[in-house]
Amino acid sequence: MNAIIVSTLLGVIMMFCSWGIKNVQAQKNIALVGLLILIFANLAHANAWYVFEYDTKGMLRFNSFGLYANTLLFSLTFIYVWLNGEEISKLSKTPADFYSLFFFILCGISILTSFDNLLMLFIGIEILSIPLYILTGADKKNMFSNEAALKYFLMGSFSTGILLLGITLIYGATGSFHLTDPVIDKLTGMAHEQMLLSAGLILLFAAMNFKVSAAPFHFWTPDVYDGAPTVFTSFMATIAKAAGIIAFINVFGSQYKALAFSWTLLLTFVIIATLLVGNIIAVFQRSVKRMLAYSSIAQAGFMLFALYGKSEIAKEGVLLYAVVYSLATIGIFAVLIKMKENSFDAFNGLSKTNPLLAFVTTIFLFSLAGIPLTGGFFAKYYMLSALLKAGAGLWLVILAVVFAAISIYYYFKIIQAMYFTTGESALGVVPKYYTNKLLIIAILLLVLGVFPNLLLNYLYF
């Protein structure tokens, strides 16, 4: 509860900031302090220190997994703002507006990690999505940004409609919005209600797939990610997406696992399609930004394995995956922002012009590809392990591994450009401190690649 209230308050405060404080640097610092307060408030909650406490009639139910997910996602946002503050400031005279939107998104996230009621799911998703539509269109004078925002908004509302329809059907069948009510047991034997419930679940499933950009509901992703300003693409592809996955797990990992037969097969299909579409199309991209959009689809496919796993190890895994994937992707986008163009050629000969930057980019790419000694390896490891423990066929694991090998191809294209191709890189001016910040992220990834426990142990406190 702390996080929901505090993030909303901070959002409002940030909104008025742009009115009182003109210095963009100060606005960024206020946002960073705000994020620290938010993290602190959430930790306070996790340690049973409730500043705000309401009886939500069971609509929200806080558990250690959700709270820890909050902490991690808030921390990632902190790293994101700390790294990208200057870039955000370039997009508007009053960047505090954007920070305020971030806080509203975080409010949505903290609902999505703790809801126990389908209405709260709907509200959480809307609070998360609407600021994202605005952020996509933040580059007001750029037609692509406008187009992307409109597309995202139309497609997003459409999927929200489907989500609502699904929720309605489920309500019709069970008479309850609650996830943990034991209503499903009462349903045995009533065929038409079962059917209503299944139909509702499938619609809900489709809508959630849309939110996490899983195939075949991924069509909006490349266009939106490509059109949105790169800084915000970085946020959408990482933190917002991770929240979507966690929400997905919260719905379908709860009581609805009693109905596993009706959606496990669908999920398998969706995961395979997502991995296939993401990986294969990414191979053919010429723009790094679009490649990363498809790569984010492919990585979402991997994260969905946690839903398949439904075990403790899957839950640990999805948190690790979300953090590691977000760090690496935020890092790559931060490098891409400094490029004058988005093609692979922009990276040519980067190892000569800026060896440190080339090195950190290599670590990010290694992590995305899942190479040992980087966090990405353990992320993938947990997912595969969860799959096996859930009793999935070995063929599915092997298929996942083959797709991971394919991903090497497009990630290493950047490494090849940086190290083995001679040429002039299209790198703009990169201040020293910026590279150092990226280095810190890279070191974090390396540490997580040897000791993933450092992150996961806190899940049990």
- Could you give the CA distance from residue 254 to residue 239 in angstroms, rounded to a whole number? 22
Nearest distance from residue 391's CB to other proteins, in Å?
9
Nearest distance from residue 420's CB to other proteins, in Å?
5
Residue 381 binds other proteins, judged by CB under 8 A: yes
Nearest distance from residue 412's CB to other proteins, in Å?
7
Residue 373 binds other proteins, judged by CB under 8 A: yes
Contact 276, 92 (CB under 8 A): no
Residue 395, class by beta-carbon neighbours within 10 Å (0-12 exposed, 13-18 middle, 19+ buried)?
exposed
CB atoms within 10 A of CB 185: 9
Residue 139 carries which DSSP code?
S
**Burial letters 396-422, b for 16+ CB under 10 A, else e:** bbeebeebbebbbebbbbbbebbbebe
Nearest distance from residue 442's CB to other proteins, in Å?
15
Report the residue count for the chain: 461
Residue 21 carries which DSSP code?
-
291-350 residues in contact with other proteins (CB under 8 A) are 316
Instruction: Kindly tell me which of 268 and 421 has the beta carbon lying closer to other proteins.
Output: 421
Measured on CA atoms in the order 112, 115, 118, 119, is the torsion positive or negative? negative
Q: Find the part of the chain contacting other proteins (CB under 8 A) among 52-60, 192-200, 254-262, 389-397.
A: 389-397
CA nearest to 427, candidates 337, 342, 338: 338
Q: Among 412, 426, 446, 447, which residue interacts with other proteins (rule: CB under 8 A)?
A: 412
Q: Among 119, 168, 254, 389, which residue interacts with other proteins (rule: CB under 8 A)?
A: 389
CB atoms within 10 A of CB 446: 16
| 3-class DSSP assignment, residue 53 | coil
Nearest distance from residue 380's CB to other proteins, in Å?
9
Nearest distance from residue 316's CB to other proteins, in Å?
7
Q: Among 119, 266, 397, 439, which residue interacts with other proteins (rule: CB under 8 A)?
A: 397
Residue 385 binds other proteins, judged by CB under 8 A: yes
Residue 401 binds other proteins, judged by CB under 8 A: yes
- Could you give the CA distance from residue 375 to residue 342 in angstroms, rounded to a whole number? 26
Nearest distance from residue 204's CB to other proteins, in Å?
31
Residue 458 binds other proteins, judged by CB under 8 A: no
Q: Find the part of the chain contacting other proteins (CB under 8 A) among 77-85, 166-174, 218-226, 396-404.
A: 396-404
Q: Find the part of the chain contacting other proteins (CB under 8 A) among 35-43, 47-55, 212-220, 378-386.
A: 378-386
Residue 454 binds other proteins, judged by CB under 8 A: no
- Could you give the CA distance from residue 303 to residue 326 in angstroms, rounded to a whole number? 12
Binding site for other proteins (CB under 8 A): 316, 366, 371-373, 381, 384-385, 388-389, 394, 397-398, 401-402, 404-405, 408-409, 412, 416, 419-421, 451-453, 456-457
